[in-house]
Amino acid sequence: MTINQPVNCFYINDILVDIDRCRLQRGGEIIPLEPKVIQVLEVLARHQGEVVSHQTLLDTVWTNTIVEPSALQRCIAQLRKAFGDDARQQKIITTYPKRGYSLVVEIQPVQSERPDSRRQSHRPWWSGLAAAAVLLAAGLAFIGSERPGTQPDDDSVIESVAGASQLDSSAFVNATQEHNDFPAYSPDGRYVVYPRYLEENLAHLWARDLAYGNDFMITEEAGQYAYLAWSSDGSQMLFVDSACHQSHCPPGQCSTLKSVTLSQSETNAPTVQKLIDCSPDRLLSPQWLSKQTLAVLELKDTGAVLARYDVKLGSREVLYNQFDRLPYDLSFSRQTGVLTIMALNPAGQKELLFLDLRSGALNRNDTVLTPPPEDWYPSSTPL
């Protein structure tokens, strides 16, 4: 049966092909596919039983892009692997040497429309933070710091901060929710990484190689990913997974800091490592400081701690641990060695802190940052 009109879902044998979600489903098993791979399958399905030439597939799937024929061969190989099709028997996709390919198996379109789960809220665990924050203890009695000058002189600061209940404040919840799933470009501009969502707000991280126009999946395990941060050379990327994958963890009560090493994905799969596994603290805004060190905010029941980790040595050092400010976001300047910290003061206002990692000096910006009013527009006219 040839599909003459666009069809989002159809069956090949007992396997459901979901074009929109770039995946196959066999019973309860989900098999994600790269967008180019699913597009090749879609073209073959539209011409089921016909021989589709190599050039037609290349022109349709890689429009206005010059790619090697091996890119198409790779897609066919992935389709055969996903369907369990033997390259020697070729019961699903048949190769016609020097001509093209044909989808020889009968397909059955799915007639009924199904809700698109991709239109669910794409917010990661932050959407549940407000409810979780209610259970947190009031105040910012941070863990004791070894750095000099971090303890308050009296209890007045502690009382004022506790009275503000910053961990439970809408200002803090809104601040942490500002991190949406925007795409993240590598420093050299070659790769852009983005989430592709499944059900229940779980996603895989995908990357597009802008030099060749191909997309590939980074994470084999679906998760709730946020805070994508590239290394300076673009070879590694940090990200936080707030989905619990350990049986002993309460749902939504742990974070894992992961890194991925990107090589040319055509031949080598990306390597994902767990740098901090199943932490009971919420991990916020990781940043590479050097090739082997990183900074990350650890949100605890009583506040937030800024820590530096040495990936190679496995060591941890507290960089910022004070009572009077609640940090929630980081940005690092490799040229100056200064780590900029966005924090909330006891009044719930946003302030900038500047931590010089070379000297250890901490400076505060006297300017209080406040969001613009809801009716503010750059041109005085709603856009």
SS (H, E, C) 97-119: CCCEEEECCCEEECCCCCCCHHH
pLDDT of residue 217: 84
pLDDT of residue 234: 84
Ordered strands of the 282-288 beta sheet = 282-288, 293-300, 303-310, 315-320
Please state, in angstroms and rounded to a whole number, the distance separating the CA atoms of residues 84 and 96: 19
- pLDDT band of residue 289 (cuts 50, 70, 90) is very high
Span 59-75, mean pLDDT? 83
pLDDT in tens, 133-155: 333 333 333 333 333 333 334 33
303, amino acid identity: G
Please state, in angstroms and rounded to a whole number, the distance separating the CA atoms of residues 117 and 24: 15
What's the distance, CA 32 to chain centroid? Answer: 16
Please state, in angstroms and rounded to a whole number, the distance separating the CA atoms of residues 30 and 11: 14
Q: Indicate whether 99 pLDDT > 60.
A: yes
For residue 186, the 8-state DSSP code is -
Phi, psi (deg, nearest 5) at residue 159: -65, -40
- Positive or negative: CA dihedral 217, 220, 222, 223: negative
346, amino acid identity: P
pLDDT of residue 127: 36
Q: Tokens representing 336?
A: 């100056």
Lowest model confidence (mean pLDDT) among 180-194, 222-236, 281-295, 365-379: 365-379
CA angle 192, 197, 202 (to 5 degrees): 115
Structural domains of the chain ordered from first start: 9-109 (1.10.10.10), 125-369 (2.120.10.30)
What distances in angstroms separate CA 16 from CA 164, 259, 352, one per listed residue? Answer: 53, 32, 51
Q: Indicate whether 52 pLDDT > 80.
A: yes
Q: Cβ(16)–Cβ(24) under 8 Å?
A: yes
Q: Indicate whether 1 pLDDT > 80.
A: no
Mean of per-residue pLDDT scores for the chain: 75
Please state, in angstroms and rounded to a whole number, the distance separating the CA atoms of residues 230 and 233: 8
The residue that leads in pLDDT, 374 or 297, is 297
pLDDT in tens, 8-24: 789 998 899 988 888 89
Q: What is the CA radius of gyration of the chain?
A: 25
For residue 174, the SS3 value is helix
Span 76-92, mean pLDDT? 87
Q: Cβ(369)–Cβ(381) under 8 Å?
A: no
Q: Tokens representing 179?
A: 């991190």
CA angle 197, 27, 6 (to 5 degrees): 60
Q: Indicate whether 182 pLDDT > 60.
A: yes
CB 116: neighbour CB atoms within 10 A?
A: 10
Which of 32-41, 215-224, 364-373 has the largest mean confidence? Answer: 32-41
pLDDT in tens, 152-167: 343 333 333 333 455 5
Q: Indicate whether 232 pLDDT > 60.
A: yes
For residue 373, the 8-state DSSP code is P
Place of tokens 């349709």: 60
Q: Indicate whether 367 pLDDT > 70.
A: no
| Residue whose C-alpha is closest to residue 201's, from 176, 228, 223 | 223
What distances in angstroms separate CA 212 from CA 64, 252, 261, one per listed residue? Answer: 11, 38, 19
